[in-house]
Structure formats: structure tokens, C-alpha cells
Amino acid sequence: MTNFDALTPEALRARGSMKWNRRGPEVLPMWVAEMDYPLADPVAAAIDEVVARQGFGYAEVDDRVPRAFADFAARRLGMTVNPGWTTVVPHVLAGIEIAVDVFTPKDAGVVVTTPAYMHFLVIPGLTWREAVEVPLLETPGAATVDEQWHLDLEGIERAFANGARSLILCQPYNPVGKVFSREELAELARIVARYDGWVISDEIHAPLTLPAIRHLAYSEVDETAASHCVTITSASKSFSMPGLPCATVSLHTQAGHDRFVTNAHPDHLYGATTLGIEANVAAFTGGDEWLDGALAKIAQNVARTKAFVDAELPDVRYVPGDATYFAWLDLREAGLGDDPAAWVLDKGKLWMNPGGDFGANGKGFCRLNLATTSAILDDGLGRLKAALDAR
């Protein structure tokens, strides 16, 4: 059984990753989406096998990843995936970029709801489309993430009426951690269908839905949603292996799949590595026990963070999410302006993602990575308090 409290900052720094080495050892990095946990044993074994056979030639992309993901999706996500309509791509962002290019007319906009994973705001421009920001609706003072954040369905309809023809969805939603409801997504599907549009659904965080919550894939909402859905995912986020490129793009109709493979440039599809392929297969087929342990640890850290914020940080508001391992911390009442993360980094040597990176309505927030050990989490929360006390 994996010990999720095993790794020290020194051991994590020795891994050589960007997360732990971009700044000096005096800074505690709790920012980018990378876990501070040992690699899952089945994944490590698969990598060892590739190294033993020196399997470093050009990767042979077959149907093993689509089949492994389809089984995993049915088993853990309540999601039906047709391996025959699933294409392997290098990584999720590449899949989103290809899907935007294939399913969005050249003169049409791409709706991005904010606060958004920052790269979503950039991808449309890479394909010569316009990103159309539609901020989420916020209910201040809400007790749960489901009550706090909602899609602005009227705003999305206006964007489509003005020429948008696709929407990048994050389900579960990074950074706020919400799993959107069937009712909310069904109304979104009706809007998109009225304009013959597409939803490009990034569901990389789906396996990180916390134990008490059930994920709902956009393609499972109803037939209307499935007919215009592109589902993009990878094991890289939930098993913490972003350095092993491999992801999948799944369509949910034969016509959608045919359109994707016919119009996607072959050079853009290629790039998944042998290590990435084998790691994804191993994670999807043998990683359940490790993932259950990681989710239990993350749930503990969510509760630990909520208790600390409520007891020690009166100017900070934290509404735990349904999924992901991020805490979306509201510091708008802390008197630190639009970028409180900069103050906390300077005074507390705690590195979080600035909320403004996720869009204008993220200003005043910080994103804190909770996929870490108890000791590192306690250190990080203590640094946050010290920084706020230094005001």
C-alpha cells in the first residue's frame, strides 16, 4: 500500500521537476498540477519494462490505450466510450487545439468560461479563432461549490447568437472544483445544439472526483449532448505523470469520429511516446487501488484545509470543491489587491497560482495544490497565515 505521506521536500526536489525546482529551496511550491506522491506501482513497473527492453523507438499507436480507457471510464466514471471512436494524441491541450480547429468554422468564436484553466484562453488564438470569455455566475457567501458557481447560460447563448460555434468545457471544473449538474449541462446542450455547435469537454480531472461525489461526463447527459461532444482526457493528471505524453480524444457518434480523423492533420495527432502509452495503459488497467488511496488522502487534505481556513484565516474564504485537488481560495477581503499570491510569495515564501491567470474574474483568488503530504500542507497553511499576519 502506498504511503502518501512518504516524500519530503528534499526528495521531491531531487525528482528534478519544474514544480519543485523553478524557485529556490526557501520557497514551498504548491502551485502547478502535480502531486507530491510516489508513482503508482503498476505504472512504475510498466516503465521499468520499457527500459528493460530499450523500447525507445518511434511509438506504435494501437488500440490498447482506447480500450484501457473505455474499461476505466465504464468502471469508475459511469461513462460509455467506444474505443473505435477514440484517437490517441500527445496530450490534452493538443487534443483541444485539434478539436477546436476541426469543429469550429474559421470565422467563428470559441466560448471559454472563466475563471478558466489559463491555456484555454490561448488555444483559440493558436487556430486563428477568437476566444469569447463568458464568466461563471457567482453567488457570494454560498456554502457549497454547487451553489457558488454556475454557467451563465444566457451569456453563452448570446455568444453563440453572435457567432461562436464551440465551447471548451472543463468537467470537473478547474480551478473551482465543481462537477456541473445534469440539469445545467442539459440546458447547455440545448443551447449548443440550436446553433449546430460543439462542446469540447476536457475531463482530465474526472478520476479526481472526491469519494462522496459522482462524476457526470458531458457525453452522458443526454443524446443531444453526446451528438456534439468531444471528450478529451488522459491518465496524466490523476496519476501525476505529466512528463509521459499520451491522451485520448473520444467522439460519441460515427459521423463525429469520421469528421475528426478526416480533418485533423496527421502531424498534429502524432507525439504520444512509448512511455506515455504504457503508463496510461498501466494506470487505467491496474491503478485503481493507488487512485483510491490518493483520493482518500486528498479528501483528508481538503477537510484539513477547510478547518484551518475557518479557524485561523478570517479574511480568507474557502468553499471545497467536488473534484480536483485544488483549493480555490478567495482573498478578496484580505486587503491585498488583485494579486494576493504575489504578497504571499514575498512574505510567506508560499507559491500558489495567482487567480488572475485564470481570467479577470479570478483576481483576488489563489489556487492552492492540496495533493501533498500532511507535513507539507501544514507548512503551506502556516506560511499563508504568516504572510497574512505580516499585513
> How many residues are present in the chain?
391
Assess whether the region 9-41+287-389 and the region 56-285 belong to the same CATH fold. Answer: no
Q: How far apart are CA 329 and CA 31, in angstroms?
A: 12
Ordered by start, the domain boundaries in the chain are 9-41+287-389, 56-285
Instruction: Give the three-class secondary structure for 12.
Output: helix
Nearest CA to 89 among 275, 234, 235, 272?
Answer: 272
Which H helix or E strand runs over 257? helix 254-263
* Average pLDDT value over all residues in the chain: 98
CB 257 within 8 A of CB 228: no
pLDDT at 110: 99
Give the closest residue to 20 by CA, choosing from 61, 163, 30, 313: 30
User: For 169-184, how does the pLDDT look when each residue is reduced to its tens digit (9 = 90+)?
Assistant: 999 999 999 999 999 9
Residue appearing with cell numbers 525546482: 21
310 Cβ contact partners less than 8 Å away, ≥ 6 residues apart: 318
C-alpha dihedral sign at 272, 323, 168, 140: negative
Say yes or no: domain 56-285 is CATH 3.40.640.10. yes
Radius of gyration of the chain (CA): 20
- The pLDDT, as a whole number, for residue 379 is 99
pLDDT value of residue 240:
97
**Residues in the chain, pLDDT under 70:** none
Backbone angles phi, psi at 131, to 5 degrees: -80, 125
Query: Is 109:163 a contact under the CB 8 Å cutoff?
Result: yes
Residue 390: CB partners within 8 Å, gap ≥ 6?
347, 348
Tell me: domain 9-41+287-389, CATH 1.10.3720.10, correct?
A: no
pLDDT for residue 233:
99
Cα 352 to Cα 59, 327, 366, distances in angstroms: 36, 10, 6
Cα 233 from Cα 200, distance rounded (Å): 11
Contacts of 173 (CB under 8 A, 6+ apart): 149, 179, 180, 321, 323, 324
Q: Residue 353's closest CA among 5, 117, 48?
A: 117
Question: What pLDDT, on the 0 to 100 scale, is given for residue 183?
Answer: 98
